[in-house]
Amino acid sequence: MTTRPPVSTLDQATATDSAPEGSGLRAGLKDRHLSMIAIGGVIGAGLFVGSGSGIAAAGPGILISYALVGALVVLVMRMLGEMAAANPTSGSFSAYADRALGRWAGFTIGWLYWFFWVVVLAVEATAGAKILTGWIPGVPQWGWALIVMVVLTATNLGSVGSYGEFEFWFAGIKVVAIAAFIVVGGLAVFGLLPGSDHPATGLSNLTGHGGFLPHGPGAILTGILMVVFSFMGSEIVTLAAGETENPRAAVTKATNSVIWRIAVFYLGSILVVVSLLRWDDPAILKDGSYVAALNSIGIPHAGQIMNAIVLTSVLSCLNSGLYTASRMAFSLGRRSDAPAPFARTTGRGVPRTAILASVVFGFVAVAFNYLWPDTVFQFLLNSSGAIALFVWLVICFSQLRMRRIIQRETPDKLVVRMWLYPYLTWATIAMITFVLCYMLTDTADGGGRDQVVLSTLVALGVVGVALLRDRLRRSRAHDAATPS
């Protein structure tokens, strides 16, 4: 295992917008931007779209599935927060893996994470295009996908402040929508909502209709597989924090608030759904859990309201996905693990080449989705499916070593500490490993087994490239040092 010199913090130039090209990333995000990025990162479109399948599979017990995955995310974010508060950097966990585990680890997880978000760009652009086509069918679906990608690319190319401002409003809409849903739905549950004829069911739907676990305790694990990927994106805040005026304080605040964010937005809203409706209500799968809940309490045009909220979530995910992919590519370029142009920035501190490269691959993936949705694009989906869990595992292993490095070199920067270190870190590793192993039992086409196997093969391929590069680099260094 090799180590490298300490990872430097972000190059935050303080010059004006006329600064020369290549001056580094800028502290262009405000505290309000980061607060909404932190909140919005946990509220993905998967919460609105995918929760119905989880409820149908696990019944009210899906709350346990969400709670377990939520606890896992809280632990991973605490570890990441410990490292990020001590050393905020544009590469986040990739840079920490580079430092703690070796160049091969930083290279591998950085490129895998970039690949994951490039595929997400295609998925979200297509999802947004479907909604927009339903509203304005005169524009073809591929046209809407193109328009959405171009608009958000322009936003990210403008300045980091532009990204932050768009994300502030996107996330704000999601937050207001879920908060309103919890309040309105909570009132309806107890028969206190004016104008609604929904009966005051209280919490009876949680235990009626077959009990809290109608399919048995094993359904909790099935639910975990269905909800785990809806939490991906929480770590974005640690990449964005470096582009604020006070990254250490921003990271500390964001990671400390992850518990209530998950408790309120995930557990709170799902609790309202399974309290309003019986878990086996056909409308949950037919219309989606949130639309079905709104319809049950007499909210008019519930489907269109939810489509607007889902579209906002899709645009938010696209916006953040492009930002995240470009910053990871920028960091890889800074560490000579990506082409040198990726590390260059404009006078506004924008990594233009990294953004455009990410967009190009995103456009290619969108084209695959339209041309070969069941072959090439399905392969892309499956081969990136388990990367989220790989990222969490790398964060855990990096934290085990980085804690000792920080304590030895800069103990005063250990302002966020992982609880019960190292025991809780090892427990988290065991939990993630268990989920990956359990995914192998899902043998459906495009299911968990396909995702784990293909993602592992892709990861091994990237590891092979990383090890080969390290070997060639050492060989060149040895030849240069050997007298002729």
* pLDDT of 41 over the 70 cut: no
Q: Which helix (H) or strand (E) is 69 found in, with range?
A: helix 62-86
Q: Count of H helices and E strands in the chain? A: 21, 0
Give the Cα separation of 257 and 72 in Å (integer).
15
pLDDT digits (tens, 9 = 90+) for 301-353: 888 888 888 888 888 888 888 888 999 999 999 998 999 999 998 888 889 99
pLDDT at 37: 79
Q: How confident is the model at residue 30 (pLDDT cuts 50, 70, 90)?
A: confident
**C-alpha to C-alpha distance for 25 and 38, rounded to whole angstroms:** 20
Residue 128, pLDDT score: 87
CA distance 230 to 210: 27
DSSP-assigned states of every residue in 110-156: HHHHHHHHHHHHHHHHHHHHHHHHHH-TTS-HHHHHHHHHHHHHHHH
**Of the ranges 31-40, 53-62, 146-155, 156-165, which one carries the lowest mean pLDDT score?**
31-40
Residue 221 has pLDDT above 70, yes or no: yes
**Calpha distance 373→36 (Å, rounded):** 34
Give CA–CA dist 396/471, Å, rounded: 26
Which residue has better confidence, 192 or 31? 192
Tokens describing residue 237: 């805040």
Give the DSSP per-residue string, 227-281: HGGGGTTTTHHHHHGGGBSSHHHHHHHHHHTHHHHHIIIIIIHHHHHHHHS-TT-
12, 300, 395 from 37: Cα distances, Å: 20, 30, 20
Give the whole-angstrom CA distance, residue 80 versus residue 399: 7
Quote the pLDDT of residue 45.
67
Q: Is the dihedral of CA 111, 115, 118, 124 positive or negative?
A: negative
Distance CA 381, CA 317 (A): 16
- Mean pLDDT (the chain) is 85
C-alpha–C-alpha distance, residues 51 and 223, integer Å: 9
Mean pLDDT for 464-472 is 90
Rounded CA separation 277/385 (Å): 31
Is the pLDDT at 35 greater than 80? The verdict is: no
What pLDDT, in 10s, does the model give residues 187-208? 999 989 888 888 888 889 999 8
Higher-scoring residue by pLDDT: 420, 310: 420
> What tokens appear for 248 in the block?
């250490």
**Residue 42's pLDDT band (boundaries 50, 70, 90)?**
low
* Of 227, 288, 269, 276, residue with least CA distance to 62: 227
Q: What is the pLDDT of residue 31?
A: 75
